[in-house]
Structure 1
Amino acid sequence: MTTALTSLSKLTLAAACGLAFAAGNANAAAPDWSKVPAKKITVFYPGASPLEWIMKGSEHGGAKGIKKGEQCIGCHEEEVADIGKKIASGARNEPRPIKGKAGSIPVQVQAAHDGANLYLRFTWKQPAGGGEKMDKDNPVKLAFMLEDHKVDLADQGGCWATCHNDARTMPDGKDDKKTKYVKDGNLASGKYYDLIQWTSKGKSHDGYVADKRVMEGGKGLVEAKGEQKGDTWTVTFTRKLAPGGEGDVTLAPGKAYNFGFAIHDDYTVGRFHQVSFGYTLGIDTKGDIVAAKQ
């Protein structure tokens, strides 16, 4: 009798574990993307346009508006492609033009959540390249950043608050180890960006940008995957809403967060990427991109 009860208990426990595993997988199941609205966001080639240049009124006419609280996208939304084309040509802010570099890439961005996870999907057609293969292992990388309205200028310029003229690939960069950072940034004060990156090699990173860029320590990334069909790339992320890791921004329904992303196309590294202006990601609330519960 005892043996029978023990066996029954084991079977019950196994069944319960199986149900729990199934429920966990169900919680991490991607939405039906055909039912999720897409937001077209054009990323563009920024060249050597660090925050210091953005805020220099004698060089950038929008500096005055930014200091008043205006958003970069408010002035530039209709001319993103033109800006990228001009910079990629070397006509402005690019001392090292790259042969065949696309000035911009239109990207379809979708977002949804299930109460436990945020889902993001990026789709774009890869333009022709032909430049130097700076990162031979990765023809494409995609990263996005989230910020909770604590970093100075993040509400106006999105991720631009991490881009500085002394970074390693900038013309003025002297330290080959210096990457993105936030002025006066630190985790304790909340002045940081949550950073997640997917690489076409198959490796993903979950970190943050504070006083320096750290590519690990986060606990939010559940899955990142991408595929290329013909000339079209599709990259999807599954990220916990409330991860609790180092540098993780907790996402809550009813709130909107600063959001931006970048694509390193054509085997590029460092500043030689395509970037978005600053947008907002709303979780069940108003935003440039809305992640509604599915």
Structure 2
Amino acid sequence: MKKTIIAGAAGAILALGAGSSLAAAPADWSKVAAKDITLFYPGVSPLEWIQKGTEHGGARALKKGETCAGCHDEEAADMGKKMVSGQKIEPTPIAGKAASIPVKVQAAHDGSNLYLRFSWKQPAASGAPKMDEKNPVKIAFMLESGGKVALADESGCWASCHLDSRTMPGAADTKTKYVKEASLADGRYYDLHQWRSGENKGYDGYVADKRVMEGGSALVSAEGKQDGDNWTVVFTRKFTGGEGDVALEAGKTYNFGFAIHDDNAHGRFHHVSLGYKLGIDAKADVTAAKQ
């Protein structure tokens, strides 16, 4: 695995690359359609909370199969304001923390590799103590195939977030994200990819009965660039991989969600997306068309 740092006047490009040298992201991303998705600060809203009708008004709709994005897509920024301020489900608000982060998401493929590009303007720093000293920014996305994880079709990645996971109030620090009744063999898991700015490193793992950050073989590269206040991160991922890697096929869609740990945050103190669909040559919220 090769790691390079390329410095330039416009900023720094941080890259991790491995695998096929033939993999090449689109040369002109301006020709690739972009989906605007607002990430929001979620406070203490784990899977158990969104299913509790006395706390979450959408619990009944969720039981009927309606999606979180179907109800909340246009109000994500407003939800973030309520939670980041402590007005709702946040017992320890952080003064000055951003309520939401608007992100442009682009996707493409070449028949063998998926390319995902995320771009956003970095919010102002809160001034709070740094939770993750090494990494000012982390970005991760998860994929799930076929709705095998209960509620993945409706809630995206929320089925991996639980009340007893680390950094939740009163939870053990050793408990990571997990999926109930997880099974790698039966496809009940989330495929996880992450890029960390300070470590200059990409991770290829999964979330099953626990979160595993390494061991996958689908990630070819993860590259991040900061240009002033603007971030751009591009993941290159093979269609197929190893254990914990969801196999991708043209004509199919996959449950898709992502999160950004901004301002040296860790654990639940991130900004998250609702659940969306990623299509490979298939109509979806985000569609990867062949280039």
TM-score normalised by the chain length of structure 2: 0.91
Q: Residue type matched to 1:142 in 2? A: I
CA distance in 2, matches of 1:218, 1:46: 28
- Answer yes or no: is 1:77 the counterpart of 2:67: no
Q: Residue type matched to 2:25 in 1? A: A
CA distance in 2, matches of 1:43, 1:131: 20
CA distance in 1, matches of 2:220, 2:185: 25
Compare the two structures and name the one with the higher helix fraction: 1
Q: CA RMSD in A?
A: 0.8
Secondary structure of 1:108's aligned partner? strand
Contact 1:261–1:275 (8 Å) recurs in 2: yes
CA distance in 2, matches of 1:33, 1:272: 30
Number of the residue aligned with 2:24 = 29
Work out which of the residue numbers 177, 192, 200 in structure 2 matches 1:180: 177
Gap regions ≥5 residues in structure 2: 1-19
Number of the residue aligned with 1:251 = 248
Number of the residue aligned with 1:96 = 92
CA distance in 2, matches of 1:85, 1:95: 14
Q: Residue type matched to 2:228 in 1? A: G
Work out which of the residue numbers 155, 158, 165 in structure 2 matches 1:157: 155
1:172 deviates by 3.3
1:184 deviates by 0.8
Offset from partner CA, 1:21-44 (integer Å, 9 cap, x none): xxx533x01112111010000000
CA distance in 1, matches of 2:236, 2:209: 26
1:289 deviates by 0.2
Q: Percent identity?
A: 69
1:183 deviates by 0.7
Q: Residue type matched to 1:176 in 2? A: D
Offset from partner CA, 1:91-131 (integer Å, 9 cap, x none): 11111111211000000000000001000000000011222
Number of the residue aligned with 1:287 = 284
Q: Residue type matched to 2:24 in 1? A: A
Compare the two structures and name the one with the higher strand fraction: 2
Larger radius of gyration: 1
Contact 1:142–1:199 (8 Å) recurs in 2: yes
CA distance in 1, matches of 2:158, 2:248: 21
* Moved segments of 4+, more than 3 Å: none
Offset from partner CA, 1:59-111 (integer Å, 9 cap, x none): 00100001110000111111100000110001111111112110000000000
Q: How does 1:261-272 map to 2 (within 5 A)?
A: 261-272=258-269
CA distance in 2, matches of 1:25, 1:248: 20
Contact 1:143–1:197 (8 Å) recurs in 2: yes
**How many residue pairs align between the two structures?**
268
- Answer yes or no: is 1:205 the counterpart of 2:199: no
Q: Which structure has more RCO (C-alpha within 8 Å, separation ≥ 6)? A: 2
1:188 deviates by 1.4
Number of the residue aligned with 1:219 = 217
Secondary structure of 1:142's aligned partner? strand
Gap regions ≥5 residues in structure 1: 1-23
CA distance in 1, matches of 2:170, 2:157: 20
